[in-house]
Amino acid sequence: MALWRGSAYAGFLALAVGCVFLLEPELPGSALRSLWSSLCLGPAPAPPGPVSPEGRLAAAWDALIVRPVRRWRRVAVGVNACVDVVLSGVKLLQALGLSPGNGKDHSILHSRNDLEEAFIHFMGKGAAAERFFSDKETFHDIAQVASEFPGAQHYVGGNAALIGQKFAANSDLKVVTSISDIPTGIPVHLELASMTNRELMSSIVHQQVFPAVTSLGLNEQELLFLTQSASGPHSSLSSWNGVPDVGMVSDILFWILKEHGRSKSRASDLTRIHFHTLVYHILATVDGHWANQLAAVAAGARVAGTQACATETIDTSRVSLRAPQEFMTSHSEAGSRIVLNPNKPVVEWHREGISFHFTPVLVCKDPIRTVGLGDAISAEGLFYSEVHPHY
């Protein structure tokens, strides 16, 4: 009798739920779970899928990242290649006979002690930096010690070489020696590197380079130095205090495109900037020139996690979500307050004909390789970008 009663209850429940779906197909899942519990048959099974914020964010990225309708067919890269030697910076200083001291930034390195002070300075800030070494012989000696250090790894390096590697399997690839080699009307991407000469940076912004390029990639150090050199927004800031403020970054990106980007009254091709820092990325574009940027910014952030951890896909046990949970989209005007949602990881906002796409990064807890990560991010973002036909 008990078995029959249980079967009857189950049959009645199936009939009732079927009627509910027929009459109210949009009824929320919470109501169905409540119905299930009220019949004393135990809690409804939890819906499948990742539970952690990192897992939900990675799954959302996978759903958002789609190939553009119009793909790149031919890609030209500049002559910029080297060998990256990867090893522990602390162990290198020890091998050079240097002991930890006080950190100090140097715009140009002249000696081993300058290298030690600059390393400690930027290590304390958790920031990457590049500096020119003026003494050829000393630099050669340091490079040889690094290259021969036990366990040192050697990789292809250089912006053009790394970006070229990404496109080589999917496009016709051509090597060019300068921007002047590229025919008029072809979109050009420039990946900035660390600089210390403000006069040169100002010249790049106002005269030499920005008007000739279509797309720009840069990190937080390069962005701040750029605005300091050209007297842009927040240029009085001497350095970022931890994670770069999203609103400040957004203001600077807006200023670059508004003051130096393409417009009806300005002979400039610049319409896109891909900004990347450790915990988040922003793609800013002039409206009407680019498509698929939601997928592009997500793809760039995803590759940051996979390449740093040396995995094919995001391993949620090895990454963490460290982006600000809420932020303002601007500090120079009345911006919007955004609250981060891992289920909808790409946030979009607009300002005077310029669109912004923001996404957090799943930061690798124990990174294997970070050298060339910025180039991989920009290359992945470009690979998923679609430029409109008027180029």
Tell me the catalytic residues: 375
266 Cβ partners below 8 Å, 6+ apart?
A: 260
Q: Which of 374, 356, 339 is nearest to 250 (CA)?
A: 356
CB 380 within 8 A of CB 189: no
Question: Do 211 and 270 touch, CB atoms closer than 8 A?
Answer: yes
Residue 155 is encoded by which pair of tokens? 């990789």
The DSSP result for 239-262, as a single string, is S--SSPPHHHHHHHHHHHHHHHS-
Contact 17, 9 (CB under 8 A): no
Count the neighbouring beta carbons within 10 Å of the beta carbon of residue 43. Answer: 8
Instruction: Give the start-end residues of each E strand in the chain.
Output: 74-78, 82-86, 108-109, 132-133, 153-157, 172-176, 189-191, 215-219, 272-276, 280-286, 290-291, 319-321, 326-328, 337-339, 347-351, 354-360, 362-364, 386-387
d(CA 221, CA 129): 8
Alpha-carbon span 279 to 276, nearest angstrom: 8
Residues ≥6 apart with Cβ < 8 Å to 335: 247, 250, 328, 329
Residue of 179, 353, 161, 376 whose CA lies nearest to 384: 376
How far is the C-alpha of 87 from the C-alpha of 306, rounded, in Å? 19
Copy the structure tokens of residue 180.
Answer: 């002047």
Give 74's strand partners: 172
Q: What angle do CA 96, 367, 361 make, to 5 degrees?
A: 130
